[in-house]
Structure 1
Amino acid sequence: MAHDTTKRREALRESLIGLAEAQVRADGLASLRARTLAKEAGCAVGAIYNVFDDMTGLTLAVNGRTFGRLGKHVSDAVAKVADAPPTERLVAMAIAYLEFASANPNLWRALFDVEMSTDRDVPEWYMQELGRLFAIIAQPLSELHPDPEPGEIDLMTRALFSSVHGIVLLGLENRISAVPRERMEGMIEFLLKRATAT
């Protein structure tokens, strides 16, 4: 009996993540509502909170999937240029990041728009997913800087990620301050080549 309950709970969890993912993909994170999800999943609203502590927990689960797909997309792009110089690999992964964000704008935005209370720890698995993405960036940086100061590679990794992220974010905003889409790849390449010049 306990085994059946665990299986039903896991099935509901996977169903809710899938439904939430579809909702975020279509209409953005702000559209996510417990009542709507419960109706689509064929369960009571309270059942959602038997599986997740709150809607933030569900959002983090969706984001975990998105991080996984983003990491794979970037890794696949780097694999295609595995023998290229480090800067070219950094450019390839940054363009892959842009491609993923362009193809999945709402899911991509949800990675950074999730609201976390100050007294809540970010789940370890979530930080591991982000760490995997940063590790992909750090590898070519380590080749460019074989004898870094302590913490220097991590700092460069986060600085370059933030810079590329900013270009992508502004480019996808479609506002007056937006970067034209056709110039985004050139700006990213310019930034990375200048930033990694030795």
Structure 2
Amino acid sequence: MKFYTIFAFLPTVGLSVAGTCSEYTITKSVDSTIHKAYQYQSLTLATLIECASHCLRGAKCKSLAHTSSQICKLFTKSKEDDPGLVQTETGTYYVSKSDLPTGIAGTCSGHICGDDDLCVQSDTTYQCIPVYGGKRCSGPPGVTNAVVDFDDPETHPWGTGDNVRFNCSSNLASTGGPSVMTCMDTGIWSYSFSC
């Protein structure tokens, strides 16, 4: 097992000082992943930090794998459950949830959401959104002054818990939370941001 230090430049929750950063260390196994039978979600997330944050915000997640092609895989089991579950997968970093620094989850650190919920943070608190029930969502709705950051959102098979990111038009910033929509188990999209 190799050890790496990941430097995440994220604002520290609760502080208003501009430029405040936090340093997080993540212990990860190189070229390995958990058995695919325990995978419950796959997301396109650019960094290991984003993948780790998503895992920490769901009680269902016990481990993750982040691939070189920016795919975040979330699992209901970890190597602590059964060391034999870990398999070789070239170009993938495996991490148990127990090895993740909880601060990455921001206001969702220490959340009490259920197994079928995803914690979604706001400025000072969080809410638990049911996302892992089963219904699929149609393409995400439009947001005034924003464009979806996805190649073809209408034909993608959106499952519960899947996210889509929006980019606000130039000179506008996202308000009300991260510019992300989450497909809920009711088949509708949940989001709290505006541009």
Question: Would the TM-score normalized by the shorter structure come out above 0.5?
Answer: no
Give the helix-richer structure, 1 or 2: 1
**Structure number with bigger Rg:** 1
Q: When the two structures are superposed, what TM-score results if normalisation uses the length of structure 1?
A: 0.27
Give the strand-richer structure, 1 or 2: 2
Higher RCO structure (Cα 8 Å, ≥6 apart): 1
